[in-house]
Structure 1
Amino acid sequence: MSCRHPCRSEAVQLISEGRLGWELNWSCDGCGIAADDVNRGPAPECVRGRIIERYGTGQVRVGGSGGQGGRVLKVFRDVFGWSLQDAKRAATELTTTGWRGTHVEASLVAHLLQESGIEANTHDQGCEA
């Protein structure tokens, strides 16, 4: 049963134990009900889109041929569970335009690339709104 008052919600991403996670927190001023939806793994596009709209994007770049090879593909597949084709597309972006994701995603990808011996840099793209 709904109290018919609008709910407020906020979506966030986080890194826990080296893995992506996300939360959707919402509350209602009318009836006082509040809840947190906590999940592991990449955020669904509807949540991810809200995060990017509010906070902008982060960009990861690597120099030279450092963005090609199995270590890079492994990072993208481990973080996002992507197919080999999607991971290859992201690896190509790393050395050309730079790969873009949420700030949390970019931070995790850059960190894991650096841990695997690949020099990676992050840049904030700011809010687009």
Structure 2
Amino acid sequence: MSGGVHDGQLVWSVETSCGGCGAQAVACGWGEVPGDVRAAMIAQYGTARLRLDPAVARPLRVRLLAALRRSGGGSLAEVAGLFERLTGDGVTGTEAEMRLLANRLAAEGARVDLQPPPRAG
């Protein structure tokens, strides 16, 4: 199972095999990760956290809200709440989701802090 960012889009893949017959299957895609695949990625790898430097982000608020809306962030009220979380404790998601959002917000001038999931040791 893997996820990443390619050409400004999420990419994901999952390989499975049947314990009984040994048959193998591969599923992959671009864009939004299916809920069950996303949940399995988080269970296996943990979550990354993205924060924005509030001192840099606040003067860019309108540009960043527009970028969040273009990224599928929802209504204006929803993206305003997301902006507040990003400039506060941050938001979490798969590493690829947070990397994609960090790239988009950095392109608008935000200073991003992306903390990858803790690595199992």
Percent identity at matched positions?
A: 27
CA change 1:93–1:44 in 2 (3 A) is same
Aligned pairs, how many?
Answer: 117
CA change 1:42–1:127 in 2 (3 A) is farther
Residue 122 (1) aligns with residue 114 (2):
yes
* Matched-pair contact (CA < 8 Å) for 1:59–1:101: yes
Question: Using the alignment, how far apart are the partners of 2:94 and 2:101 within structure 1?
Answer: 10
Q: Greater Rg, structure 1 or structure 2?
A: 1
1:78 CA drift (Å)? 3.4
Q: Which residue of 1 aligns with 2:104?
A: 112
Instruction: Tell which has more relative contact order, 1 or 2 (C-alpha 8 A, sep 6+).
Output: 2
Give per-residue Cα distances to partners, 1:50-73, cap 9 Å, x unaligned: 111111111111122505623323
CA change 1:77–1:31 in 2 (3 A) is farther
What's the TM-score, normalizing by structure 1? 0.74
What's the TM-score, normalizing by structure 2? 0.78
1:97 CA drift (Å)? 0.9
Give per-residue Cα distances to partners, 1:53-111, cap 9 Å, x unaligned: 111111111122505623323333333x2312332222111111111111111112112
Give per-residue Cα distances to partners, 1:28-70, cap 9 Å, x unaligned: 2543422221122121222212111111111111122505623
Q: How does 1:1-129 map onto structure 2 within 5 Å?
A: 11-64=1-54, 66=57, 69-79=61-71, 81-84=72-75, 85-126=77-118
Out of 19-28 and 52-61, give the one that drifted further.
19-28
CA change 1:13–1:23 in 2 (3 A) is same
* Matched-pair contact (CA < 8 Å) for 1:57–1:127: no
Between structures 1 and 2, the one with greater strand share: 1
